[in-house]
A = this chain, B = another copy of it.
Amino acid sequence: MKKSALQKARASYQPKLPIALQGPVKVVEGRPTESVADQAAIKALFPNTYGLPEIRFEKNATPTPGKPINVGVILSGGQAPGGHNVICGIFDGIKKIHRDSRLFGFLMGPSGLVEHKYIELTAPIIDEYRNTGGFDIIGSGRTKLEKVDQFNKGLEILKELGISALVIIGGDDSNTNAAVLAEYYKANNAGVQVIGCPKTIDGDLKNGLIETSFGFDTATKVYSEVIGNIQRDCNSAKKYWHFIKLMGRSASHIALECALQCQPNICLISEEIQERDMNLDDIVRYIGDIVISRAAEGNNFGTVLIPEGLIEFIPEFKRLIGQLNEVLGANKDKVAGMDEAALTQFIFDNLDQQNLAALKKLPANVAKQLMLDRDPHGNVQVSLIETEKLLSGLVADYVANNADFAAAKGKFSPLHHFFGYEGRCADPSNFDADYCYSLGYNAAALINAGVTGYMSSIRNLVKPAVQWIPGGIPITMMMNMERRNAEDKPVIQKALVRLDGAPFLHFAAKRDEWAHNTCYMYPGPIQYFGPAEVCDQPTLTLKYEHKDK
């Protein structure tokens, strides 16, 4: 692999570890835990791994002799910056425990375990990937590990390789599955521990115990860099409105963090739109009125951040999408062969009046996307809907009919952007490089402590890395029961943006000023070699959430 100058320079970066992990550790057990909700149901489903204590690692005066461990690792789901450093941390951690320990990587996600596709991750391979972005060291995939025959198939190869612990690096669903797998292997005395690691750029895997998922820091910094650049352009040319959609699935954490970083004129927060029961007209009016008021000041330019999941949070469309998914799901075979016209008619005939009205409100191309572009499960592909163009088109109509806008000789020229893939595989920021390496190193300590069904946890993240607190959280503790595909399932609660949380409240207090004045911030690109105040800052979301620490 030919390397860029930055990759070469960055290869020698030594990620910072919490002081407690820098030498021998001792395990400090907390009290038995409960799940966040539905305790009885969760306990019944996880008889062997429910109620375990939280664990904290502390510095130990005397080293305890370790024995060699073989460990397997899986990258699950979408890429997030720092995944390679988690693996490097595991490698260094188990080698520190015993030099004969070995690490195996299963290829292209959980399917690698089931299909027995793997490589041994040796020191030369590991060294190629230190502090780099991407998941290309072993690849990733979206196969869900949730069936007993998958577990048994996986166990065959784990036994064959002498692997006694498996680390699953993934988002909320993958960690849920890690807990199920841990329970299954424990119940069957399989002799394999399972440890999870909190990964997702979306930032929606966090709670009282997991302060943030890795990758969120780097991804939002990349998006903030390009948003900042666009804003500087916008404020120089003074003639475009930039509509910028941001990845992040359901939750609006990414959009909110970028808004805090960049201070755009407008940022929509899906959770607020749902809470306030705003329909599409309300949203268009909110944006349009700001466009008109800026035009009155002679400012025919601005920026709008739009979370990817928006459309599913607008109550009228949530309802429409729900019925579309239901109708098409229930008639999967029937609609499979239909041409566009027939399918459109079928949908029109099967929607209720309210949903039909919502559908007909949409411009033809968006309505078509909703009806026709569906994933293999028959679901609407929300991420493909060009909400940025939908909104700018409706705003154009709104301002065109406004007398104040005409009187101000207002102009409205929108441009559109969607950022997502630009940030998922960026080289990790110092924060993510350190955090990920610590999560992996800490996972090795959890394995050495003999536990299973735990998520690797590093806390106190707003402080310098040496002061971070390593430990483990029983995954069952984060679970509740939710209705998924007509079944009640134990799942880790997804963290949406809290409207009573400090990050949102900070944004809400400032947004009117940002809308009408031009208060753009230009964060610039991630820096790796400069002063700490430039290179080592966590997200503003994390700072505001943990301000009092």
**A232-B524 CB under 8 A given contacts A5-B534, A9-B531, A530-B9:** no
**Once the chains bind, are B79 and A236 in contact (CB under 8 Å)?**
yes
**Once the chains bind, are A534 and B222 in contact (CB under 8 Å)?**
no
Beta-carbon contacts under 8 Å, A200-233 to B: 222, 225-226, 228-230, 232-233
Complex interface: chain B residues within 8 A of A396 (CB): none
A526 interfacial contact with B, CB 8 Å: yes
**Once the chains bind, are B235 and A136 in contact (CB under 8 Å)?**
yes
**Once the chains bind, are B232 and A425 in contact (CB under 8 Å)?**
yes
Complex interface: chain B residues within 8 A of A521 (CB): 2-4
Nearest Cβ on chain B to A548's Cβ, whole angstroms: 22
Nearest Cβ on chain B to A305's Cβ, whole angstroms: 15
Complex interface: chain B residues within 8 A of A407 (CB): none
**Once the chains bind, are A4 and B424 in contact (CB under 8 Å)?**
no
Complex interface: chain B residues within 8 A of A415 (CB): 421
Encoded as 1 (CB less than 8 Å from any B CB) or 0, chain A from 141 to 183 comes to 0000000000000000000000000000000000000000000
Q: Please name the residue on chain B nearest to A140 by beta carbon.
A: B236
Complex interface: chain B residues within 8 A of A24 (CB): none
A14 interfacial contact with B, CB 8 Å: no
How many Å lie between the Cα of A387 and that of B222 in the bound state? 26
A132 interfacial contact with B, CB 8 Å: yes
Encoded as 1 (CB less than 8 Å from any B CB) or 0, chain A from 490 to 528 comes to 000000000000000000000000000001011111111
Q: Please name the residue on chain B nearest to A426 by beta carbon.
A: B229
**A233-B4 CB under 8 A given contacts A108-B238, A132-B522:** no
Complex interface: chain B residues within 8 A of A261 (CB): 4
**Copies of this chain in its oligomeric complex:** 2
Instruction: Indicate the member of A3, A233, A426 with the most B CB atoms within 10 Å.
Output: A233
**A522-B133 CB under 8 A given contacts A238-B108, A531-B9, A534-B9:** yes
Instruction: Indicate the member of A132, A261, A426 with the most B CB atoms within 10 Å.
Output: A426
Q: Please name the residue on chain B nearest to A230 by beta carbon.
A: B421
Contact of A140 among B237, B417, B537 (CB under 8 A): B237
**Once the chains bind, are A134 and B6 in contact (CB under 8 Å)?**
no
Q: Please name the residue on chain B nearest to A235 by beta carbon.
A: B136
How many Å lie between the Cα of A424 and that of B230 in the bound state? 8
How many Å lie between the Cα of A132 and that of B232 in the bound state? 10
A54 interfacial contact with B, CB 8 Å: no
Complex interface: chain B residues within 8 A of A2 (CB): 263, 519, 521
**Once the chains bind, are A7 and B524 in contact (CB under 8 Å)?**
yes
Beta-carbon contacts under 8 Å, A1-22 to B: 2-10
How many Å lie between the Cα of A423 and that of B229 in the bound state? 7
A533 interfacial contact with B, CB 8 Å: yes
Interface residues on A, range: 35 or more
A186 interfacial contact with B, CB 8 Å: no
How many Å lie between the Cα of A258 and that of B361 in the bound state? 42
**Once the chains bind, are B233 and A424 in contact (CB under 8 Å)?**
yes
Instruction: Indicate the member of A78, A261, A417, A527 with the most B CB atoms within 10 Å.
Output: A527
Complex interface: chain B residues within 8 A of A528 (CB): 527, 530
How many Å lie between the Cα of A322 and that of B242 in the bound state? 31
A529 interfacial contact with B, CB 8 Å: yes
Contact of A229 among B133, B140, B235, B534 (CB under 8 A): B133
How many Å lie between the Cα of A261 and that of B4 in the bound state? 8
A308 interfacial contact with B, CB 8 Å: no
Q: Please name the residue on chain B nearest to A108 by beta carbon.
A: B238
How many Å lie between the Cα of A261 and that of B531 in the bound state? 27
Complex interface: chain B residues within 8 A of A421 (CB): 229-230, 233-234, 242, 415, 417
**Once the chains bind, are B233 and A134 in contact (CB under 8 Å)?**
yes
**Once the chains bind, are B525 and A225 in contact (CB under 8 Å)?**
yes
**A134-B523 CB under 8 A given contacts A9-B534, A531-B529, A537-B5:** no
Nearest Cβ on chain B to A172's Cβ, whole angstroms: 19
Q: Please name the residue on chain B nearest to A79 by beta carbon.
A: B236
**Once the chains bind, are A533 and B9 in contact (CB under 8 Å)?**
yes
A422 interfacial contact with B, CB 8 Å: yes
Encoded as 1 (CB less than 8 Å from any B CB) or 0, chain A from 108 to 139 comes to 10000000000000000000000011111001
A432 interfacial contact with B, CB 8 Å: no
Contact of A422 among B226, B425, B426, B522 (CB under 8 A): B226
Q: Please name the residue on chain B nearest to A531 by beta carbon.
A: B9
Instruction: Indicate the member of A225, A523, A526 with the most B CB atoms within 10 Å.
Output: A225
Which residues of A are interface residues toward B (Cβ below 8 A)? 2-10, 78-79, 108, 132-136, 139-140, 222, 225-226, 228-230, 232-238, 242, 261, 263, 415, 417, 421-427, 519, 521-531, 533-534, 537
A-B contact pairs, 6 of them (CB 8 A): A2-B519, A6-B530, A7-B522, A10-B524, A229-B422, A527-B529
